Structure 1
Amino acid sequence: MSVNSAASTAKISAALGSMDQGSVVSEVAERLLAYFTSGEIAVGTRLPAERQLAASLGVGRSAVREALAALEILGIVIVRPGSGTYLRDDISELLPRTLSWGLMLGAPRTRELVELRGGLEVQAGQLAALRISDEALERMRANLATMEGSLDDLGVFVEADAAFHREIASSSGNQVLQELLQSIRSLLRIWVDRALTEKGHAADALAEHWEIFRALESRNEAAVTAAMHSHMETAARRLLAGLDAGLDAGQTGASA
């Protein structure tokens, strides 16, 4: 590590200060976000290693790792394999405050985001039932085939799941609704990934998606509403179970 890099690391660690042992991922992320967007460190700066940030904040490395993952999703930092994590050089000065909601991982408002997402997905489905094209349905069928063939590869499964929902949002014909859903999904992504921790969970989710697809294929708005509402209820239970598990792990990591 160069002298300048070591100086930057020391400056960042000192500026962050330590946190109470009970702190969770959301607080770590908010502390990092506030500092990284304060203008006190230069864009493109290489950030200290996870263990150094964890030591500075007085939390477990897992909390820092998850906080940095959330910041990467929001475009605040960029991870360069084999090199490290850097502060991006194209952070918008107009970064909406609402984006920081996604960093309240483990906070009550994350539960509210889950609740909001459910309502918006149902509305998107209702509009899509009236407007969806045959081409969009074919793409969704392909998404389902990918999900069906990826029950043992949850990373691929989750990507196909997300693509399925993006088609519905796009087919709603409402750009504002589409963008709101995309933002919420991005903010909740870390918990969505955790929600499908077992093959059985993925199989259940696949069956729910087929119900939605069949209802959309028939252009039956009432059936789409029922199928999407049911899926959102079970998806929310899975997602919140992952959230609770993450909070428990964060508490354990902080006290380790």
Structure 2
Amino acid sequence: MPVQSIEPQRLYRQIAEQLRALIAQGEFDTGARLPAERDLARQFGVSRPSVREALIALEVEGWVEVRTGSGVYVQDRSHRKAAPVAAHEWGPLELIRARRVVEGETAALAATLGRRKHVDAMTQAIAQMRELADQNIMPLEGDRAFHLAIVEACDNAVLAETVQGFWDSRKGPIFSRLGGHFETVPSWRAAIVEHEAVRDAIAARDATAARAAMHDHMDKAHQRFSASWRRARRTA
């Protein structure tokens, strides 16, 4: 399979461009299954998460279809007109890693600077998440409210806008499609427990524990989105 070396910048876009070109050139016929993620990662010399982001981008654009438990298949594009993914869209897994760095520190700051009203806002957000999860609804708004309550305790407009921008980036087509494959009510219930650990550490004014709890939450979120396709379950 002819591939070129990848430069470490917007990796998922570069990988997607090469795969798109290979498909267009007939390297993979319509209906053909692409090589496994691990094989593509080895051939491109990149990580599996970067390959996954590229495959999701191609699925959004209509080049491939991810069939849970089976593989990734080339689509017939003769009658398809899907818009390309915006050049500025961040890769979801890369975004989670960036959030780990920033939000670990906002959690620690919140433990130091936060007041009762901020902890109450976190508790209300968790309750909203649990209520929606009990109705088999993805509790996205509660999740957003939780992370914003943490950064609001830091009393820093730059951090607040940064965290809000991070979270709102998950509304993009790549993150939304990835969530469609890997986010389920059980996975959200696990995330709620992780949110409670962050809230409890902040309420206890333990900055070290708050940072560690947020790091743990982001690490587990990354693991959930990096799980085997065979373990993925589409949300209803």
Correspondences of 1:86-125 after superposition (within 5 Å): 100-102=87-89, 105=91, 110-125=92-107
Structure 1 residues 114 and 157: CA distance shift in structure 2, 3 A:
same
Displacement of 1:198: 2.1
Give the letter for the 2:164 counterpart: Q
Return the alpha-carbon distance in structure 1 between the equivalents of residues 131 and 84 of structure 2.
28
Unaligned runs of 5+ in 1: 1-18, 31-53, 72-99, 250-256
> Secondary structure at 1:172's aligned position in 2?
coil
* Cα displacement string for residues 54-74 of structure 1 (whole angstroms, at most 9, x for unaligned residues): 99x76857xx3895xxx7xxx
Return the alpha-carbon distance in structure 1 between the equivalents of residues 78 and 151 of structure 2.
41
Structure 1 residues 58 and 221: CA distance shift in structure 2, 3 A:
farther
Number of aligned residues: 165
Which stretch shows the higher mean deviation, 229-238 or 189-198? 189-198
Structure 1 residues 200 and 130: CA distance shift in structure 2, 3 A:
same
Map of 2:109 onto structure 1: 127
Map of 1:232 onto structure 2: 218
Q: Is 2:191 the counterpart of 1:209?
A: no
* Cα displacement string for residues 63-120 of structure 1 (whole angstroms, at most 9, x for unaligned residues): x3895xxx7xxxxxxxxxxxxxxxxxxxxxxxxxxxx432x55xxxx43322111111
> Secondary structure at 1:150's aligned position in 2?
helix
Q: Which runs of 4+ in 1 moved over 6 A?
A: 27-30
* Cα displacement string for residues 121-153 of structure 1 (whole angstroms, at most 9, x for unaligned residues): 101111111111211211211111111222244
Map of 1:159 onto structure 2: 141
Return the alpha-carbon distance in structure 1 between the equivalents of residues 147 and 108 of structure 2.
13
Displacement of 1:206: 0.8
Return the alpha-carbon distance in structure 2 between the equivalents of residues 198 and 29 of structure 1.
20
Return the alpha-carbon distance in structure 1 between the equivalents of residues 227 and 117 of structure 2.
35
Which stretch shows the higher mean deviation, 209-218 or 146-155? 146-155
Map of 1:141 onto structure 2: 123
> Secondary structure at 2:205's aligned position in 1?
coil
Return the alpha-carbon distance in structure 1 between the equivalents of residues 134 and 111 of structure 2.
31
Structure 1 residues 213 and 239: CA distance shift in structure 2, 3 A:
same
Displacement of 1:156: 5.1
Q: Is 2:206 the counterpart of 1:186?
A: no
Structure 1 residues 65 and 24: CA distance shift in structure 2, 3 A:
farther
Displacement of 1:27: 7.0
Structure (1 or 2) with the greater helix fraction? 1
> Secondary structure at 1:101's aligned position in 2?
coil
Structure 1 residues 113 and 133: CA distance shift in structure 2, 3 A:
same
Which stretch shows the higher mean deviation, 126-135 or 178-187? 178-187
Unaligned runs of 5+ in 2: 1-19, 25-53, 62-74
Return the alpha-carbon distance in structure 2 between the equivalents of residues 139 and 161 of structure 1.
12
Return the alpha-carbon distance in structure 1 between the equivalents of residues 161 and 181 of structure 2.
23
Structure 1 residues 101 and 207: CA distance shift in structure 2, 3 A:
same
> Secondary structure at 2:151's aligned position in 1?
helix
Taking structure 1 as the reference length, what is the TM-score of the superposition?
0.53
